[in-house]
Amino acid sequence: MASSQPHVTVLLALYDGCEHLEEQLRSYLDQSLRPARVLASDDRPHDGTGAVFQNFGTQVTATLCWDLIEGPQQGLTRNFLHLLATVNPAETDYVALSDQDDIWLPEKLQSAVHHIAAQGDRPVLLGTRSWEWSPSTGQKVLSRHIPPPLNFAHALVQNYAGGNTMVLNRSALKLVQAALPGMPQPALHDWWLYQLISGAGGVVLLDPEPRLLYRQHSDNQVGANATLHSKLRRFGYMLTGTYRKWMDQNISALQSHANLLTPDNKALLDRLAQERSASLCTRLNMLADTGLHRKGRSNQAALWIAAALRRM
């Protein structure tokens, strides 16, 4: 970019978000490194959320670009993929994904750019921890920490950070756009980003510091990760077959552009796709041989149980 200051584009997914949207938008303006552009995709264009976004934008359009497009109206994952497909990599250095009802802490973008820039021109994905926050009680719980290494053998079976914390550099955005045409929809956009970028040999980073307030309410998709209730719910996903369905979707998405993966990671994907439905011994040997793993003892034990029950 021509400017000496990094050009950051915020990608904001909107859906029925009037109530808390202005707090999120104000937190963009309070960044120590302000974004240069906010691009929002409204997935429910007649509920008034887009109008709130546009009205707020009239106050700031002299200092940054403020754009609204119509969403595909096919759910959150498809809306974020739509945003990622729309932005022009030649016009931005970084893209930062955003939900509509969080509050970014002031150093979020500055810290992300600092960490990502140190990696050079390779595709880089950065996620952070967050404060899982209940406005009604004021309670804050720090989201789970996923220790390194963050690699494809981990990404295939577990996500590492919420999409609302993620920032990508231009090289990663180009990689994502190369994978999108004709791709079946993955289970979750953030999990797929982790899989694609790690699988293609990119760098995946986790900032251990919380960089946003993640509002907890009944409409949050998937929700907080830190509580015992949430851990039990996720184990339930494995037992009921939901986790296997997610794996089906993710494998199909990755296989559609497997040429983007490194040879070793493509071989790992192929083996997982072939052997996760094979005999019990073959499934367990695959886990032992390949290094597929989830972080944490209970999560890793759940993975072995899922493999044994053909739920992986």
Domain that holds residue 294: 228-308
Domain count, the chain: 2
142 falls within a domain: yes
Mean pLDDT of 283-288: 97
* Phi and psi angles of residue 74, each rounded to the nearest 5 degrees, phi first: -130, 25
pLDDT band at 227 (very low <50, low <70, confident <90, very high): low
Asked which of 215, 246, 265 is the last residue of a domain, the reply is: 215
| 169: Cα separation from own chain's centroid | 14
Same domain (yes/no): 256, 300:
yes
* pLDDT mean over 171-180: 99
> Does 3 reside within a domain?
no
pTM reported for the whole predicted model? 0.94
Which pLDDT score is estimated for 237? 84
What pLDDT sits at residue 223?
A: 44
CA distance to 8, 54, 92, 233, per residue, from 3 (Å): 11, 26, 11, 47
| Residue 228 confidence (pLDDT) above 80 | no
> How many angstroms separate the CA atoms of 26 and 76, rounded?
22
Question: Mean pLDDT of all residues in the chain?
Answer: 93
Residue 188 included in any domain:
yes
Pick the closest to residue 148 from 210, 203, 205, 209 (CA basis).
205
Residue 176's domain is classified under what CATH number?
3.90.550.10
Q: What share of the chain in percent tops pLDDT 90?
A: 82
Q: What residues pair up with 214 in beta bridges, in sequence order? A: 132
Q: What is the pLDDT of residue 155?
A: 99
Residue 187 has pLDDT above 70, yes or no: yes
By the 8 A CB rule, do 37 and 61 touch? no
* pLDDT tens-digit series, residues 28-52: 999 999 999 999 999 987 789 999 9
Residue 167 phi, psi dihedral angles, 5° rounding: -130, 135
